[in-house]
Amino acid sequence: MFDRDEELELALKCVRSGVWIAILGLRMSGKTSLAKVVANELRREG
């Protein structure tokens, strides 16, 4: 995930602690990609 370290860490921290998040942004800004990386990471953690 290129240049989205802060957003990725924040999203992981929120979801891990049970806080729902919304990923908002311009078209093609990488929202779906960020969500997929978060989902994969959480799945990997179990």
Ligand X SMILES: Nc1ncnc2c1ncn2[C@@H]1O[C@H](COP(=O)(O)OP(=O)(O)OP(=O)(O)O)[C@@H](O)[C@H]1O
- Tell me the CA distances in angstroms from 28 to 14, 21, 23, 35, 40, one per residue in order: 23, 19, 12, 13, 20
Per-residue contact string for residues 20-39; x = within reach of Mg ion by CB under 5 A = -----------xx-------
User: Cβ closer to ligand X: 1 or 17?
Assistant: 1
CB of 3 to Mg ion, least distance (A): 18
User: Cβ closer to ligand X: 5 or 46?
Assistant: 5
**Helices of type H across 1-46:** 5-16, 31-45
User: Cβ closer to ligand X: 2 or 20?
Assistant: 2
Q: How far apart are the C-alpha atoms of 29 and 20, rounded to whole Å?
A: 20
